[in-house]
């Protein structure tokens, strides 16, 4: 589904991403972990088109994404959430979803109707997404007046609103308590059931180890390990990257 | 009576100008170019009625379209500059327009009289209304009808997806773009629409004052244009209208009796307003505020639709 | 209209000398923008206001002419502080429109007070070294403009010293880059910003007096064009760049005079603005822009 071909990104003299090759299969949940500064956020921004790569390419369903800006990547089927919540604060929950909304490709919606119309079908679908996100009764609340957990759920819902094939989650569990992390885990698994492919960039191991099918580990812009959660947990290279040393026994979180 | 009609005229035209800036502010673009579009609308529609003998309706429309066209052109380079730089770039645009018309000399003979823009002397004899039997009250009705139409359109805009998208761009460009919004299209469209509205206002202004010159199109007017939506708040169109009525109606005309002190008070009032209500006079709780004001409601609500 | 290369160089020379005042105004805008990422629209007006105060001190209080150049900057500094308190100090940090609007209100206020007190008519301002005129080969140099340039260089040097070699300057730069963090580090952000406004005000007051002295008159009509020129200089120099503002000031002065020679006073400004556009298109970060992406 997604292929990163020898992706390179330099910022001046800094090699944030240094020749990374990753393949994400359709329908899987791939975790992307690594210590701070390993290049995870840069990767997210590259995949989503925030800035162009220095070298290498990104292919979605075998189509090179080239230098498409973010809004065209949404057309291609990639959406994202942000590490620091970036909701439209003064808009309501409903409007936040509305802005990002894409109708299903089969439905023929005229330009006029898309921008200036009010279709009942669309309303029903948005309400469904709101209910799924536990925001059904918050539809008229301004995003800035939501609780932290609600805001995180709204970010997730907004990323889903464009009906993406691939959804990139940038540290969605940051600042969450255990219960919220459990809830997030269920949501991600539901997204997988709905047919989406998920790329999860995360630090919170409790989530990564329990929701991903495979994990890729980055350090200093390079891929240092790839495998199932269990394999990664026992990988000495990974341990060394995080702790500075490797242990003999395979640890649990 | 004539005096009050004149005040209504001014309020109507300034409200249109303010709304043109309001639309741009929604997308986060602080533009002082509105007065430039206003000038284009004035001169083009004026020249059409005076020099070519057109009827007011097509003249206003063509004036607005020309203004919109230049706004469209301005919209693209405007994408590349943000914040302060956009302010300065739009100031430069408006000044170039003003200076262009300041130097424009295009005189023709119509019915034995020489008419047309006369460079430093300005553009006189824009006498369409008088020559065609329009009373001042008719002009006021025309201005306010157009104003009402524009307000209804902008009010409705906020009820459909386009309005939410505009505001999203103003809130957070990166988030909007990452949610699939084509920033260029939205911002250029807003600039163009704003230009059209300013162009109509300009045409109405030229014909109702019968005389325009470069003094009419200074940066001062441009700052008034953005003052209205900022003071009134960006929640809805009424904020801008309220601000215009307050400034033009109350301060400038209503306080005429205190003479020059009016102008001094004006500046102080702006400073006070921004300190006490930085989000604008009319914010989201408009309906509850109005209800409170009219004594219909004990408390304001915490959420608004 | 025939003019030879001597006329051209002469006009550039005069322009560069006069441009030192633009450099000062641009510097003031830059200091404030650099410190708070906000635009103070009342800046040029406060500078002119100070010059008026300086003039009042000699016409009304009968002080010697030189005192205008002392009282003026002091008054501008005070006005700068007032503008800070009235328009910037109490504004919510993220809100950029409100302080901008408030400073526009301050601009109106200062302008109107001046008009009210002087009945709108221009007043003559003492000239500095009015008779001095030097010759450099085929070119003449006005002594008062040379003096203005000299003073401007002194001031720029002082500002650079202040910003880069003193604790106050360090605090100002820290507060501009990380307002919250510097507060937590014990830097009194408010006091630092207020000081910046005062310093910029003094700078502007000197610029205002120099402009008035070079032109010979003070008029409230000076405020708006000076504001616009100052903004252009700030943008062309690159937002937040002190070096840029200084160089751009001289550049604008030179070009302005050149355009005046070639196209006359009615069209001169059109070309200055076109110059601005060229910069915005090809070098949106200005001459030495620090790419501050906040707006």
Longest distance between any two alpha carbons in chain C, whole Å? 64
Q: What secondary structure letter does DSSP report for A92?
A: B
Contacts of B84 in chain C (CB under 8 A): 33, 39, 231, 234-235, 239, 295
State the residue range of the domain holding C106: 28-229
B-C Cβ pairs (cutoff 8 Å, strict): 135
CB spacing of A74 vs B178 below 8 angstroms = yes
Residue C56 DSSP SS3: helix
CB spacing of B165 vs A90 below 8 angstroms = no
CB spacing of C108 vs B270 below 8 angstroms = yes
Whether C43 maps to a domain, the answer reads: yes
CA C106 to the chain's CA centroid: 17
Q: What is the pLDDT of residues A75-128, one digit of tens each?
A: 889 999 998 899 999 899 999 999 999 887 777 777 788 888 776 778 888 999
Nearest-neighbour CA in chain A from B138: distance (Å): 33
Q: Does the pLDDT value for residue A138 go beyond 50? A: yes
Task: Give residue C34's pLDDT.
Answer: 80
Q: Does the pLDDT value for residue B303 go beyond 50? A: no
Contacts of B162 in chain A (CB under 8 A): 115-116
Strand partners, A222: A219
- Contacting residues for A180 by C-beta, under 8 A, at least 6 apart: A149, A152, A173
**pLDDT tens, per residue, chain C with 295 residues:** 566 787 888 888 888 888 888 988 888 888 888 878 888 999 999 999 999 988 888 888 877 778 888 888 999 999 999 999 999 988 887 777 888 889 999 998 998 888 888 887 888 887 776 677 777 777 777 777 888 888 888 888 888 888 888 877 787 777 777 777 777 777 777 888 888 899 889 989 988 888 888 888 888 888 888 898 888 998 888 877 888 888 899 999 999 988 888 888 888 888 889 888 888 877 777 777 654 433 2
Contacts of B167 in chain A (CB under 8 A): 88, 90-91, 95
In B238-304, beta strands by DSSP E:
none
CA distance A188 to A196: 9
Q: Which of B180, B185, B234 to mutate to test the interface with A (most CBs of A within 10 A)?
A: B180
Nearest residue in chain A measured CA to CA from B185: A71
Task: Give residue A170's pLDDT.
Answer: 93
Domains contained in chain A, CATH given: 2-77+164-243 (3.40.50.300), 87-148 (no CATH)
Does an interface of 3+ CB pairs under 8 Å exist between A and B? Answer: yes
Average pLDDT value for chain A: 87
CA distance B63 to A131: 50
Q: Does the pLDDT value for residue A52 go beyond 70? A: yes
Whether C157 maps to a domain, the answer reads: yes
CB spacing of B85 vs C269 below 8 angstroms = no
Task: Give residue B294's pLDDT.
Answer: 58
Calculate mean pLDDT across residues B280-299: 56
Is the CB of A156 inside 8 Å of chain B's CB atoms?
no
Q: Does the pLDDT value for residue B214 go beyond 80? A: yes
Contacts of B96 in chain C (CB under 8 A): 270, 273-274
**Percent of chain A residues past pLDDT 70, beyond the cut:** 96
Average pLDDT value for chain B: 86
Mark residue A77 as left, alpha or beta (left: phi above 0; alpha: psi -120 to 50; beta: remaining).
Answer: left
Whether C245 maps to a domain, the answer reads: no
Tell me the HSE value of A24 on the side-chain side, using a 13 A CA sphere: 30
Q: What is the pLDDT of residues A28-37, one digit of tens each?
A: 999 999 888 7
Of residues B265 and A154, the one with the higher pLDDT is A154
CB spacing of A79 vs B176 below 8 angstroms = no
Nearest-neighbour CA in chain C from B84: distance (Å): 7
Q: Which of B77, B84, B99 lies at the smallest CB-CB distance from C269? A: B99
Is the CB of B21 inside 8 Å of chain C's CB atoms?
no
CA distance C150 to C20: 9
CB spacing of C96 vs B83 below 8 angstroms = yes
- Quick check: C259 and C176 in contact, CB under 8 A? no
CA distance B243 to B273: 11
Task: Give residue C94's pLDDT.
Answer: 74
CB spacing of C281 vs B77 below 8 angstroms = yes
Categorize the per-residue pLDDT at B37 as very low, low, confident or very high, splitting at 50, 70 and 90. very high
Task: Give residue A158's pLDDT.
Answer: 94
The domain tally of chain C equals: 1
Is the CB of A222 inside 8 Å of chain B's CB atoms?
no
CB spacing of B230 vs C276 below 8 angstroms = no
CB spacing of B275 vs C86 below 8 angstroms = yes
Whether C3 maps to a domain, the answer reads: no
Calculate mean pLDDT across residues A230-239: 82
Ordered DSSP codes for B32-65? --HHHHHHHHHHHHHHHHHHS---HHHHHHHHHH
**Percent of chain B residues past pLDDT 90, beyond the cut:** 46
Task: Give residue A146's pLDDT.
Answer: 92
Task: Give residue A250's pLDDT.
Answer: 46
- Quick check: B151 and B39 in contact, CB under 8 A? no
Task: Give residue B67's pLDDT.
Answer: 96
Domain range summary for chain B, segments of one domain joined by +: 2-229
Q: What is the pLDDT of residues B225-265, one digit of tens each?
A: 998 998 888 888 999 999 999 888 877 777 777 777 777 88
CA distance A54 to A15: 10
Calculate mean pLDDT across residues A157-176: 92
CB spacing of B99 vs C267 below 8 angstroms = yes
Nearest-neighbour CA in chain B from C227: distance (Å): 10
Q: What is the pLDDT of residues A191-232, one digit of tens each?
A: 999 889 999 999 888 899 889 999 999 888 888 889 888 888
CA distance C207 to C202: 9
Q: Which of B25, B103, B261 lies at the smallest CB-CB distance from C267? A: B103
Categorize the per-residue pLDDT at B305 as very low, low, confident or very high, splitting at 50, 70 and 90. very low
CA-based torsion, C56, C59, C64, C65: positive or negative: positive
Contacts of B304 in chain A (CB under 8 A): 140, 142
- Contacting residues for B168 by C-beta, under 8 A, at least 6 apart: A88, A91, A95, A96, A99, B175, B176, B179, B181
Whether C65 maps to a domain, the answer reads: yes
Nearest-neighbour CA in chain C from B59: distance (Å): 28
Of residues B124 and B33, the one with the higher pLDDT is B33
Whether C129 maps to a domain, the answer reads: yes
CB spacing of C108 vs B82 below 8 angstroms = no
**B neighbours by CB contacts (3+ pairs under 8 Å):** A, C
Q: Does the pLDDT value for residue B182 go beyond 90? A: yes
Whether C135 maps to a domain, the answer reads: yes
CA distance C232 to C260: 17
Among B131, B101, B130, B100, which Cα is nearest to B116's? B101
Residue A231 DSSP SS3: helix
Q: What is the pLDDT of residues C6-16, one digit of tens each?
A: 788 888 888 88
Contacts of C274 in chain B (CB under 8 A): 96
Q: What is the pLDDT of residues C74-92, one digit of tens each?
A: 999 999 999 999 999 888 8
Categorize the per-residue pLDDT at A246 as very low, low, confident or very high, splitting at 50, 70 and 90. low
In B93-211, beta strands by DSSP E:
108-110, 113-115
Distances (CA, A) of B187 to B173, C94, C175: 11, 22, 33
Nearest residue in chain B measured CA to CA from C95: B278
CB spacing of B268 vs C231 below 8 angstroms = no
Task: Give residue C292's pLDDT.
Answer: 40
Q: What is the pLDDT of residues C160-171, one digit of tens each?
A: 888 888 877 787
- The residue length of chain A stands at 253
Is the CB of B80 inside 8 Å of chain C's CB atoms?
yes
């Amino acid at each position: 589904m997604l292929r990163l071909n020898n992706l390179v990104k330099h910022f001046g003299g800094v090699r944030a991403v240094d020749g990374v090759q990753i393949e994400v299969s359709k329908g899987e949940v791939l975790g992307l972990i690594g210590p701070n500064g390993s290049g995870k956020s840069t990767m997210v921004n590259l995949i989503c088109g925030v800035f162009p790569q220095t070298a290498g390419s990104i292919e979605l369903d075998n189509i090179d994404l080239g230098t498409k800006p973010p809004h065209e990547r949404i057309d291609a089927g990639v959406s994202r959430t942000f590490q620091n919540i970036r909701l439209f604060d003064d808009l309501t929950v409903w409007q936040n979803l509305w802005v990002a909304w894409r109708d299903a490709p089969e439905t023929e919606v005229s330009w006029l109707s898309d921008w200036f119309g009010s279709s009942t079908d669309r309303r029903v679908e948005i309400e469904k997404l709101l209910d799924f996100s536990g925001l059904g009764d918050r539809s008229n609340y301004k995003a800035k007046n939501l609780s932290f957990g609600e805001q995180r759920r709204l970010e997730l819902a907004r990323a889903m609103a464009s009906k993406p094939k691939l959804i990139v989650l940038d540290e969605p569990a940051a600042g969450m308590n255990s219960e919220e992390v459990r809830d997030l885990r269920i949501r991600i698994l539901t997204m997988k059931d709905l047919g989406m492919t998920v790329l999860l960039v995360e630090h919170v191991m409790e989530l990564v180890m329990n929701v991903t099918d495979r994990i890729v580990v980055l350090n200093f812009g390079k891929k240092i390990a790839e495998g199932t959660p269990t394999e990664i947990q026992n990988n000495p290279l990974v341990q060394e990257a995080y702790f500075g040393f490797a242990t003999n026994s395979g640890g649990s979180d | 009576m004539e005096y009050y009609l004149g005040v209504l005229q001014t309020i109507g035209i300034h409200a249109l100008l303010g709304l043109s800036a309001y639309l741009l502010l929604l997308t986060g673009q602080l533009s002082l170019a509105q007065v430039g579009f206003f000038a284009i609308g004035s001169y083009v529609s004026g020249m059409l009625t005076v020099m070519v003998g057109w009827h007011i309706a097509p003249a206003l429309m063509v004036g607005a379209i020309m203004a919109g066209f230049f706004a469209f052109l301005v919209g693209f380079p405007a994408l590349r500059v943000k914040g302060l730089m956009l302010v300065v770039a739009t100031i430069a645009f408006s000044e170039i327009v003003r200076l262009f018309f300041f130097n424009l000399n295009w005189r023709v003979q119509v019915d034995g009289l020489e008419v047309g823009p006369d460079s430093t002397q300005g553009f006189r004899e824009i006498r369409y209304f008088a020559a065609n039997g329009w009373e001042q009250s008719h002009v006021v009705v025309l201005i306010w009808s157009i104003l009402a139409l524009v307000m209804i359109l902008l009010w409705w805009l906020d009820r459909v997806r386009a309005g939410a998208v505009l505001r999203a761009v103003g809130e957070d460009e990166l988030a909007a773009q990452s949610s699939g919004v084509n920033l260029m299209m939205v911002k250029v469209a807003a600039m163009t629409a704003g230009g059209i509205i300013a162009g109509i206002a300009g045409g109405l202004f030229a014909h109702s004052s019968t005389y325009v010159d470069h003094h009419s199109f200074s940066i001062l007017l441009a700052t008034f244009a953005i003052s209205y939506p900022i003071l009134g708040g960006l929640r809805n169109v009424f904020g801008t209208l309220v601000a215009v009525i307050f400034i033009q109606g109350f301060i400038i005309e209503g306080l005429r009796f205190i003479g020059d002190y009016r102008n001094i008070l004006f500046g102080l009032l702006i400073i006070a307003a921004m300190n006490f209500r930085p989000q604008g006079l009319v914010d989201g709780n408009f309906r509850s505020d109005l209800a409170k004001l009219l004594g219909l409601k004990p408390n304001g609500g915490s959420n608004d639709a | 209209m025939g003019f030879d290369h001597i006329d051209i160089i002469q006009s550039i020379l005069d322009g560069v000398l006069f441009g030192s005042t633009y450099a000062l105004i641009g510097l003031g805008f830059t200091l404030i923008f650099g410190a708070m990422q906000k635009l103070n629209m009342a800046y040029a007006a406060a500078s002119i206001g100070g010059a008026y105060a300086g003039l009042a001190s000699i016409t009304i209080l009968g002080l010697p002419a030189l005192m205008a150049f002392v009282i003026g900057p002091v008054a501008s500094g005070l006005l700068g502080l007032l503008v800070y308190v009235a328009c910037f100090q109490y504004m919510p940090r993220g809100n950029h429109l409100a302080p901008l609007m408030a400073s526009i209100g301050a601009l109106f206020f200062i302008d109107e007070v001046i008009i009210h007190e002087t009945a709108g008519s221009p007043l003559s301002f003492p000239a500095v070294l009015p008779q001095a005129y030097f010759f450099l080969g085929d070119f003449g140099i006005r002594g008062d403009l040379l003096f203005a340039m000299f003073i401007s260089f002194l001031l720029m040097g002082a500002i650079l010293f202040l910003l880069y070699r003193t604790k106050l300057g360090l605090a100002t730069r820290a507060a501009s880059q990380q307002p919250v963090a510097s507060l937590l580090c014990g830097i009194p952000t408010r006091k630092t910003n207020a000081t910046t406004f005062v310093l910029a005000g003094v700078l502007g007051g000197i610029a205002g007096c120099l402009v008035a002295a070079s032109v010979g008159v003070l008029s409230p009509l000076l405020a708006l064009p000076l504001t616009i020129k100052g903004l252009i200089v700030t943008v062309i120099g690159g937002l937040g760049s002190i070096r840029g503002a200084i160089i751009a000031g001289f550049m604008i002065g030179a070009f302005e005079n050149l355009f005046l020679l070639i196209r006359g006073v009615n069209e001169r400004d059109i070309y200055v603005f076109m110059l601005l556009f060229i910069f915005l298109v090809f070098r949106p970060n200005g001459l030495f822009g620090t790419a501050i992406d906040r707006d």
